[in-house]
Copies of this chain bind each other. A is one copy, B any other.
């Protein structure tokens, strides 16, 4: 597993599959992948999320990095079980202790497992061996499928699930280069690489086409900008979250 940034070998023109959500984290990962010389192939999903802002952001982000982008349609609404794919309300105005206490209702069952499975299919067809995901366990540890053990287990699966199982000298690598980075460090890294964070989208529950400023995702995002000492370019519906 490539959890640490310095464990990722230079890409040198090799193809890589990068999961793109349109958010701040995956935009940063894409910039890191391109800086390392990989030829990046973005993969995003129209999965029944409540709004299309993040897919528009994913398109912008891929185009800015000259990466291809494939959008796959899968209907996770058919399974339910999450506020992000149902009509259950998104929690707002929670403090960080509340965010960290339990697996939040915005967890979508098996979402990253499904996303990485499609990334694996795409990688096998492209003959790519490197998969990148913006999973992060520091600022938001509530999601099981954003933890190091999940990334390691998926990498182990990938190497027995596909045709590489019969090739002794080929192995998939699943990289989560943000795993151990705080939000401010992620933003500072992307800022250095020229990521236009004004084109990324994080809000779970926008109001009047602007970020709500009150959901967990808005709050963590804004705190990251404040801590990094970088202006937050996000348009908020009623002003930025209080910096607590």
Which residues in A have some Cβ–Cβ distance to B below 8 Å? Answer: 70, 72-76, 78-81, 103, 107-114, 117-118, 120-122, 124-125, 144-145, 147, 149-150, 153-154, 156-158, 160-163, 165-166
Chain B residues with Cβ under 8 A from A79's Cβ? 118, 121-122, 125
Min CB distance A50 to B, Å, is 18
Query: Inside 8 A of A114's CB, which chain B residues have their CB?
Result: 114, 117-118, 121
Given that A74-B72, A120-B113, A125-B79 are contacting pairs, would A153 and B161 also be in contact in the complex, using a CB cutoff of 8 Å?
yes
Closest B residue, CB atoms, query A159: B153
The residue of chain B having its C-beta at the shortest distance from the C-beta of A144 within the complex is: B165
Sorted from nearest, which 3 A-B pairs have the closest CB atoms?
A110-B121, A81-B125, A109-B124
Q: Are A149 and B145 in contact (CB under 8 A)?
A: no
Q: In whole angstroms, how far apart are the Cα atoms of A111 and B81 in the complex?
A: 24
Minimum Cβ distance to chain B for residue A242 (Å): 30
Contact call A157/B160, Cβ cutoff below 8 A? no
Determine the distance from Cα of A109 to Cα of B112 in the docked complex, in whole angstroms. 18
User: A74-B74, A160-B149, A161-B144 known; A109 and B81 CB under 8 Å?
Assistant: no
